[in-house]
Structure 1
Amino acid sequence: MTAAHHATLKPWVKHFPPSSSPGEPGAATVLFPHAGGAATALRPLATALSTQGADTFVMQYPQRADRLADPAPETLEALADELFAAADWRRAGALRLFGHCMGALVAFEFARRAESQGIPVPEVWVSAGQAPWTVAGSPPAPLADHEVLADMVDLDGTDPRLLADPDFVELLLMAVRADYSAFNNYSCDRNVRIGADVHALGGSDDHRISEDMLRGWEFHTDGAFTCTLFDGGHFYINDHIDTVAELIGRG
């Protein structure tokens, strides 16, 4: 990654430079967190990926952390536009994308924008997320405070001790509502495809995103499709960081 490219990065794009000998010159991996998640949620995966010799970037969405005052985009498409404009990705070479939960949809939309600009995207890794064409027909995500908190508990991705902290809960609600509102406004036809290979990942015990739902992603690629399940629930990834990083790195 060149110094010129670094100069184009928004400060809220978290960069994890290679910590080992560089792999393919110009290769880069871009990570997209789950709904309500800050960039720190994917720090362990970014760290693991950076040891494989490629530049890794984690996106920070508005309404959290160092973007607390930034307005929330009304749609996932608008969020993807904003994230794509955060750097001159043409200077990064080929892009590998990874998104967890709602982040899988954002990664898909980001890939569409990259491909439209002639930026090579060989692979998109979609983790514990439903396929784009299924969103419009699914129940809307909750927006009332008590329903959002119940949803967070059900997903089992937030430390219960943090949910007992009123200050943390206030910030969490702000971030989740922003993301859920954008999710509720999202729609995509089943015939919308990207050229990138799509690799779906999920937890075998995830009661929210089943294997059949993961396989719905096959409609959205003109390339190869794979589906891999790991032991665990919706946040299976927390117990399989190294394995997931190896899969992405090998891709």
Structure 2
Amino acid sequence: MIGGQSQLDITLWIKRFPGGQTSHGESLPTIVFPHAGGAAAAYRNFALALSAKGVDTFVVQYPQRGERLRDPAPDTVAELAAEMLTAVDWAHLGPLRLFGHCMGALVGFEFARLAAQRGIVVRELWASASQAPSTVADSRPAPTTDRELLADIADMGGTDARLLEDEDFLELLLPAVRADYHAFNRYTCDRSVRIDADIHAVGGTSDHRVDQELLRQWEFHTHGVFTFTQFDGGHFYIDDHLDDVADLVSCT
């Protein structure tokens, strides 16, 4: 059962990893939002780590990848969040927890804003390796040409260098990254915009893409509690700390 419901209509492009009762009591269902260009499969191990701790976990799949390869990409982050929100009757799950990595945290933030308008309760947003919403408009635009995208993906890390030399792989990867980067480049948010959910900013100590200052500014976007945690590692620190991050998320 999930949130007291025996059945829930889950679309095929949302991956569910069932949890259960934790040592801390019933845990909030958690939705995971991947990074720009990231597929749901990249978060399978993290979802399994959360599930093992009793957390019902749902990993969303954005358009232009996986089983949604031919689905058109929304133009904006807000439209992408709205698509995720309407895909499932999330209200049946009860209060939610959201976890977004990099651009995924912005999608989660917009998801929380839209959810509030529909009476869907979001208790917590985990913003992982992501700059705060109000900092995006003044930051350097994300690249969109093939050459720039390849250089940026290599710089970001998290992708096997051998795959970046595979033309078939790049034919699938680059359109997804480009679509997400276009949405990122269009994103704007005033510093005064806040959500009721607690916000927990998490990052890597050696992340050269999202430094501590950008991460800490998430504090301005919540009416609730704000926490800040760092782990050793870079932009994809989570890959080296799956169990520790899952423990952090599941225990709140």
* TM norm structure 1: 0.96
The question of 1:216 aligning with 2:213 is answered no
Distance, in Å, in 1 between the alignment partners of 2:27 and 2:156 is 36
Which residue pairs with 1:127 in the alignment? 128
Q: Aligned-residue CA RMSD in angstroms?
A: 1.2
Runs of 4 or more consecutive aligned structure 1 residues displaced over 2 Å after TM superposition: 20-27
Distance, in Å, in 1 between the alignment partners of 2:235 and 2:118 is 33
The question of 1:249 aligning with 2:218 is answered no
Distance, in Å, in 1 between the alignment partners of 2:228 and 2:55 is 24
Contact 1:26 1:92 in 2 (8 A): no
Distance, in Å, in 2 between the alignment partners of 1:105 and 1:159 is 25
Which residue pairs with 2:115 in the alignment? 114
1:66-81 to 2 correspondences below 5 Å: 66-81=67-82
Give the CA deviation at 1:216. Answer: 0.7
Give the CA deviation at 1:76. Answer: 0.3
Contact 2:21 2:27 in 1 (8 A): no
1:214 partner amino acid: L
Which residue pairs with 1:97 in the alignment? 98
Structure 2 unaligned residues grouped into runs of 5+ = none
Contact 2:95 2:120 in 1 (8 A): yes
Task: Return closer, same or farther for 1:69/1:3 CA change in 2, 3 Å cut-off.
Answer: farther
Which residue pairs with 1:167 in the alignment? 168
1:22-41 to 2 correspondences below 5 Å: 24-25=25-26, 27-41=28-42
Distance, in Å, in 1 between the alignment partners of 2:221 and 2:63 is 27
Contact 2:64 2:175 in 1 (8 A): yes
Which residue pairs with 1:236 in the alignment? 237
Give the CA deviation at 1:26. Answer: 7.5
Distance, in Å, in 1 between the alignment partners of 2:116 and 2:249 is 19
Aligned length: 248
Secondary structure of residue in 1 paired with 2:122: coil
Which residue pairs with 1:192 in the alignment? 193
Contact 1:30 1:95 in 2 (8 A): yes
Q: 1:85-131, CA deviations, whole angstroms, 9 ceiling, x for partnerless residues?
A: 01000001110100001101001111111122222211100000110
Give the CA deviation at 1:25. Answer: 4.8
Distance, in Å, in 2 between the alignment partners of 1:225 and 1:42 is 24
Give the CA deviation at 1:133. Answer: 0.6
Distance, in Å, in 2 between the alignment partners of 1:52 and 1:26 is 9
2:166 partner amino acid: D
2:251 partner amino acid: R
Q: 1:32-78, CA deviations, whole angstroms, 9 ceiling, x for partnerless residues?
A: 00011000111111101111223110000000010000000000000
Task: Return closer, same or farther for 1:250/1:25 CA change in 2, 3 Å cut-off.
Answer: closer
Distance, in Å, in 1 between the alignment partners of 2:171 and 2:97 is 34
Structure 1 window deviating more from structure 2 (21-30 vs 144-153): it is 21-30
1:34-73 to 2 correspondences below 5 Å: 34-73=35-74
Which residue pairs with 1:206 in the alignment? 207
1:137 partner amino acid: D
Secondary structure of residue in 2 paired with 1:160: coil
Distance, in Å, in 1 between the alignment partners of 2:221 and 2:113 is 11
Contact 1:26 1:94 in 2 (8 A): no
Secondary structure of residue in 2 paired with 1:15: strand
